[in-house]
Amino acid sequence: MLPETTPIGKNSCILPLENGLKLRVDVLSPRLFRLRYQRSEPWCESGMNRYGILKSDYPETNFASSIDGFIDTGFCRLEIVPDGTFSFSHGAGQGTSVPIAPELGEGYSISFKLSENERIYGLGDCNRENIMRRGGSYSIWVKNVTGYIPVPMALSSMGWGIMMNTTWRNAVDVGQAMHDLMTFSAPKSNLDFYLFAGENLPNLLDVYTELTGRPKLLPVWGYALTYVCHEKATAFDMMNDAMTFRKEQIPCDLIGLEPGWMEKNYDKTTEKKWHPERFEVPWWAPVSPNTFLSALKRKGFKLSLWLCCDYDLTRYEEELLGDQKSLPEKVKAAIADGNDDDFEKDVHLNAKKADEPADEPSAEKVLEPWFEHLKKFVDQGASAFKLDGAWQVIEHPGRVYANGMDDEQAHNLYPLIYDKQMATGFESHAKRRAMVYSAGGYAGIQQYVASWAGDTGGGPKPLASMLNLAFSGHSNHSCDMDVMSRQGIHFGFLQTWAQLNNWAYWRQPWYLEDKDCDIYRDYARLRYRLLPYLYSSAWTASQTGMPVMRPMPLVYDDARWDGIKDEYMLGEALLVTAFTDELKLPEGEWLDYWTGKRLTGPAVLPASFPENRGGCLLLKPGAIIPTWPVRPFVKNGYSDEIGIIVNPSETESTFVLYEDEGNNLDYRDGQFCTTTLKCREGSLEIGAIEGAFPQKPDKRSIALELHLKKRPGILSIDGLPVNFDWQDGVATYAFMHGTGTPATVEWR
């Protein structure tokens, strides 16, 4: 029996333990607890709490508790022993326990019991060798190339999850040292973590992303094609590339510039300017129709600018809080007078490498918010920013940040608040959605930016990185497309967002062999055709945390999928293989998108695909895939022409088509529409459009593409028979449909 507990409000209590520690339990929801072990008060918060990364406004939760040390929400039950150990279970009777009292000194060590067949996923991009993490030991520390986005969270096949609430250097051993224990440790840090539960892995992702933020919904063109110019490109080279995309009839939306766009190469200060020769912007008319930015816009392109940053972003976070009690006196004084050069040097606002001279920004620039100096580029026409790894992933031993943290505590936090300030700064200034993509991040990155796999190419390792990030709440991830192989092109286009990065090479598709340029064009056009499917899948991720790229163990909760790193579901209905000669087929009758051939699973088959393709692409049983006509670039998040590809099955399937304006922030206030599509063998129901936004289509052309086992004797729309085309197992028919009313397609 525990000593008398001390309530803190209705959702929290403090339990004194035998070893002199106190355990604070916050009941945040029926599925989510927060636990903190400390020797004394006040109760500490991590940088993620302090800077608003984690959700704090949970409604009151009803729960039962007793002096016997249990807390029960009806779904989760926490049973605490006086020595500080506990058990955690949920409605399905599964869960975990802490069988050994946690160790707490300057840092912590805490171990969770693993059952014999328990599987563990998550931990972000900390290791690219596996997806099922059991049996390994992992460093949760942002590292260049080897660990760009580590995430201190884990999901269990037994229906529970954990996130360590720390930004300090930390690590986890998942059954490597002791097979039946998962041990989290940190040499310095408070012991603070969230425990949560769900019926299955997708449910756990739902709870986790409610806490750490839902994946961001990018502007619709963010899911199209991004192209990054050669690092030596000039404005003329960039415009030539842009027009060549149009002439080659390869759709493309976003063109990016590497660091050479700036007067000072790799300028990480707030003094950056356009390169006066390579990217001249007329000083007498920096915002006008006469700039290259306006010329790009007229041709349907958006411009992305490369950035790197070594600015002390914590000072602005503290200023946003309006509470500077915890800051050093020198920092308070610097914030007060706004021009303390000594302060700038002490907190390394623009730190250099040891052998480089220090930058000397003007006094008025020293303390401004980082995004302030980027506003002029947005006003001139920049629509996106690429946050290179650079200094955000490199360690800074000896640095003391403006909030008083040293690098051991701030290193993991830094790329996260960089992502936050870039996204919120852009949206606050531009009043439209941010397309910011970063190499670095930490828990919560998903609510702010997209990411790419850093300087690691576009092969199997980046694919493993993306699948692990998908298991860790982050959906909008990509990598540098490898256009020198058909497998690389295939994988590069069939992921959440697509990026071709020239860097210092000549990867423009028109410089490939003619047949490979044709393949690249085909894949680009396929991606643009699939945009409503991908955009709707991204919206689902923004509501539930279920990623666009889905690891097979996340979809099929079975240990037999744990070793599969070269196959994934793209959205609900498409199965993709990459960099493999083997196709592992789940149960059911699948349809080969390339050939129309039907394959029946479960089965392990050769990964067979046409010579002009780079991998398998299959439609699952019951697949419903909305499409758009292919256009050179994306104008809107909706269309008055859609196609619907269907692979019917005997079991009813559903897909929700999401539409909005495509670029603004109004969808957050409910200005969007959904259309529910339902199918089973013999019928397709097209629901009435629900919701509203100003551009909502009142009617549209629908092109059906029904993949059937045999030619139907009759096909009807709302009971009226129609004449349809039939070829190679596909029935096609186009008709006009008023979006305000449902329509039923039947065949027999």
Verify that 168 and 100 share a domain, yes or no.
yes
Q: Which residues of the chain have pLDDT under 70?
A: 1-9, 323-367
Residue 135: inside a domain: no
Verify that 188 and 230 share a domain, yes or no.
no
- How many residues does this entry show for the chain? 748
Residue 254 · residue 221 · CB < 8 Å: yes
Verify that 656 and 576 share a domain, yes or no.
no
pLDDT for position 327: 53
CB atoms within 10 A of CB 42: 6
Q: Greatest CA span in the chain, whole angstroms?
A: 84
In the block, which residue shows the tokens 């709302």?
718
Interval 585-598: pLDDT, tens: 999 999 999 999 99
Residue type, 153: M
Contact partners, residue 454, CB within 8 Å, separation at least 6: 144, 145, 148, 389, 393, 439
Overall number of domains in the chain: 4
pLDDT for position 66: 83
pLDDT for position 360: 42
Residue 288: inside a domain: yes
Residue type, 747: W
Verify that 582 and 712 share a domain, yes or no.
no
The full 3-state SS of 322-365, as one line of letters, equals CCCCCCCHHHHHHHHHCCCHHHHHHHCCCCCCCCCCCCCCCHHH
- Distance CA(384)–CA(422), nearest Å, equals 10
Residue 450: inside a domain: no
Verify that 348 and 263 share a domain, yes or no.
yes
In the block, which residue shows the tokens 């830094």?
414
Verify that 193 and 280 share a domain, yes or no.
no
Residue type, 601: G
- Distance CA(50)–CA(233), nearest Å, equals 42
Q: Which of 177, 197, 217 is the last residue of a domain?
A: 197
Residue 352: inside a domain: yes
pLDDT for position 19: 87
Interval 109-123: pLDDT, tens: 999 999 999 999 999
Using DSSP, state whether 624 is helix, strand or coil: strand
* Token pair listed for 5: 């507990």
The radius of gyration of the chain from alpha carbons, rounded to an integer in Å, stands at: 27
pLDDT for position 6: 59
Whole-prediction pTM value? Answer: 0.94
Verify that 640 and 608 share a domain, yes or no.
no
CATH number, domain at 318?
3.20.20.80
Using DSSP, state whether 698 is helix, strand or coil: coil
Interval 514-544: pLDDT, tens: 999 999 999 999 999 999 999 999 999 999 9
Give the chain's count of helices (H) and strands (E): 15, 44
* Token pair listed for 602: 């479960």
Q: How far is residue 450 from each of residues 218, 233, 497, 637, 714, measured CA to CA in Å?
A: 8, 25, 9, 18, 47
- What range does the domain containing 319 cover? 225-442
Verify that 607 and 650 share a domain, yes or no.
no
pLDDT for position 425: 97
Residue 14: inside a domain: yes
CATH number, domain at 182?
2.60.40.1760
Residue 465's nearest CA partner among 477, 450, 476, 473 is 477
The full 3-state SS of 26-83, as one line of letters, equals EEEECCEEEEEEECCCCCCCCHHHHCCCCCCCCCCCCCEECCCCEEECCCEEEEECCC
Q: What strands lie across the sheet with 103-104, from one edge to the other?
A: 103-104, 108-113, 181-186, 170-174, 136-140
Verify that 369 and 433 share a domain, yes or no.
yes
CATH number, domain at 709?
2.60.40.1180
Residue 512: inside a domain: no
Q: Which of 393, 426, 442 is the last residue of a domain?
A: 442
pLDDT for position 356: 42
Verify that 272 and 407 share a domain, yes or no.
yes
Residue 526 · residue 251 · CB < 8 Å: no
Contacts 24+ apart (CB under 8 A), 429-432: 429/371, 429/375, 429/378, 430/378, 431/664, 431/665, 432/219, 432/663, 432/664, 432/665
- Distance CA(208)–CA(31), nearest Å, equals 10
Residue 521: inside a domain: no
Residue 306: inside a domain: yes
- Distance CA(625)–CA(534), nearest Å, equals 9
Verify that 688 and 725 share a domain, yes or no.
yes
Q: How far is residue 531 from each of residues 154, 212, 220, 224, 437, measured CA to CA in Å?
A: 31, 27, 8, 7, 19
Residue 289: cis peptide before it, omega within 30 degrees of 0:
no
Verify that 663 and 602 share a domain, yes or no.
no
